[in-house]
Structure 1
Amino acid sequence: MTTTSSKPITLEEFLQLPETKPASEFIAGEIIQKPMPKGRHSRLQGKLSHEINLVTEDKKIAYAFPELRCTFANRSIVPDIAVFRWQNIPFLSDGQVPDRFSLPPNWVIEVLSPEQKSNQVIAKIVSCLENGSELGWLIDPDDESVLVFWRDRAPSVRQENDVLPVLAEIELELTANQLFSWLKMGN
C-alpha cells in the first residue's frame, strides 16, 4: 500500500474524489492506494468469491463481493472480499444492490500481496471487527497460511489440513491445503 495524500482530507472529501485503479482507501485520515493485484492474489480472490457464492447466493444466506467499497467509522476501505449476510445487504427499494455500502462486512477477507505491510492489513481487519464484522481472514500465499480473526477470541493461524472457519449458516468446508491448491492451475 502506498500513501497518496500528504495534506489532511476528510472522509466526505475523499468520497468525492474519482475512483483509482487499483482502489484507494481512506484510513486514519490518509489516502492509501492498494497494490495492483498479481496472479496468485487474483486467482484466490476470484475462486474464493465464487465458491462462497455457490453455497450462499441461491439460498439467500450471504454474498461475497470482490473489491467492494465499504464506508464506516470514518474509514472507506476496499476489502479483497467483503462477505455480507443476506439480511445485511442494504438493497434498494427495487431489490437492486446499491453502489454504496455504509457498513462493515460480516466477514472480511484480505489476500496479502508482497508489497503490502501485514500490520496495515491486520489493522484494517481489526477495525472491521471492532465495528461489527464477525470474522476476518488474512490469506498469505507465500507461506500458505490463513490468519483467522474473530470478534470474541484471539486470532489463530490455519495451515495444511486445518479447516478454515466460515460464518455460521454457510455450508463451506475448506482446508488451507484446498484453498492454496487453487493456485496450481497448470498441468
Structure 2
Amino acid sequence: MAIAAIPKLTYEEFRQLPEDGKRYELIHGEVHLTPSPATRHQCVSQNLSSSLGPFVIKNALGELWTAPLDVRLSHDTAVQPDLIFVSKARANIIQENYIDGAPDLVVEILSPSTAAHDRATKLTLYAEAGVPEVWLLDPLAKTVEGLKLEGKKYLVDAALAGDQKLSSSQFPEPVSRLGIASYRTLRFSGPLLNLLRRFPS
C-alpha cells in the first residue's frame, strides 16, 4: 500500500495550521517541532533582551524581539530566532504577526538539543536569506561567536571567551566587555549585563 506524501506548505498555509501550544518552524515547506527551551536558555534570553533592549531604544536604533516570533525568510521557510534585531532603516519588514525578510541581526542561544541544528541548518537558511550578522551564544561553553555574512557564507568575526570586547556592525559602539566569571555565570558589561544568572551547582 502506497503511503501518501506529506504535501509541503507555503508560509501562508503554515500560518493557517491550528495552534496546539507547541513551537514550530517551517523549513523548505516542511514543519519542524522546536524543543521547549530549558531554564538556563530562558534566563540568558530574558537577561539579554532586558539589557540590550533599553540600549536599542535609548539610541533609537530599531526594534528588538525575542522568540516566539516568526521570521519569514522565503515563501516556504520561517524560523524563530532566540533574539531578533531590525534596524530603524528596515522597519518596513516588520508585519503585525511576523518579520517579513532578513533581520539585521539574529541571536541563537545554543543548547545540547539545538546546537547542531542552529549551526548547520539555521545558519544556512540565514545566509541564503541575507541576514548580515548572527551571534551564537553558548552558556555551557561560556563563549560567544560573532558571525558576519561574506558572500554566501558566514565568517567568524569574533570568537570570545573571557574579558573581551564584542563589536557589531549593527550598533554605534562595541557591545563593551564580555566577561565570563565562572562556570555558572556568563555576563556582558556595558549595555549587556548579567546575561546569565547564577545557577546552583
What TM-score range do you get, normalising by the shorter chain? 0.7 to 0.9
Q: 2:90 aligned to 76, 80, 88, which one?
A: 88
What is the identity, as a one-letter code, of the residue corresponding to 2:197?
K
Q: 1:119 aligned to 116, 119, 128, which one?
A: 116
Q: Are 2:93 and 2:99, in contact at CA under 8 Å, matched by a contact in 1?
A: no
Please tell me whether residue 71 in structure 1 is matched to residue 84 in structure 2: no
Unaligned 5+ runs, structure 2:
188-193
- Structure 1 residue 138: Cα displacement: 1.4
- Structure 1 residue 54: Cα displacement: 1.3
> Could you tell me which residue of structure 1 aligns to residue 31 of structure 2?
31
> Could you tell me which residue of structure 1 aligns to residue 6 of structure 2?
7
- Structure 1 residue 55: Cα displacement: 1.1
| Cα separation, 1, equivalents of 2:53 and 2:63 | 6
What is the identity, as a one-letter code, of the residue corresponding to 2:116?
N
> Could you tell me which residue of structure 2 aligns to residue 154 of structure 1?
155
| Cα separation, 1, equivalents of 2:125 and 2:179 | 24
- Structure 1 residue 170: Cα displacement: 4.0
| Cα separation, 1, equivalents of 2:155 and 2:31 | 29
Q: Are 1:27 and 1:76, in contact at CA under 8 Å, matched by a contact in 2?
A: yes
Q: Are 2:83 and 2:106, in contact at CA under 8 Å, matched by a contact in 1?
A: yes
TM-score of the pair, normalised by structure 1: 0.81
What is the identity, as a one-letter code, of the residue corresponding to 2:91?
I
Q: Are 2:93 and 2:101, in contact at CA under 8 Å, matched by a contact in 1?
A: no
- Structure 1 residue 45: Cα displacement: 0.7
Report SS of the residue matched to 2:186.
helix
| Cα separation, 2, equivalents of 1:84 and 1:104 | 9
User: 1:37-52, aligned counterparts within 5 Å?
Assistant: 37-52=37-52
Q: Which has the larger radius of gyration?
A: 2
Q: 1:169 to 1:139 in 2, by over 3 A?
A: closer
Q: 1:54 to 1:44 in 2, by over 3 A?
A: same
| Cα separation, 2, equivalents of 1:136 and 1:91 | 18
> Could you tell me which residue of structure 2 aligns to residue 184 of structure 1?
197
| Cα separation, 2, equivalents of 1:88 and 1:20 | 32
Q: 1:19 to 1:49 in 2, by over 3 A?
A: farther
> Could you tell me which residue of structure 1 aligns to residue 176 of structure 2?
173
In terms of fraction of residues, the more strand-rich structure is 2
Unaligned 5+ runs, structure 1:
1-5
Deviations 1:131-182 (CA, angstroms, capped at 9, x unpaired): 2211101111111112321112622522112322323334432415278133
> Could you tell me which residue of structure 2 aligns to residue 17 of structure 1?
17
Q: Are 1:55 and 1:170, in contact at CA under 8 Å, matched by a contact in 2?
A: no
What is the identity, as a one-letter code, of the residue corresponding to 1:162?
Q
- Structure 1 residue 51: Cα displacement: 1.6
Identity rate, percent: 21
Aligned residues: 177
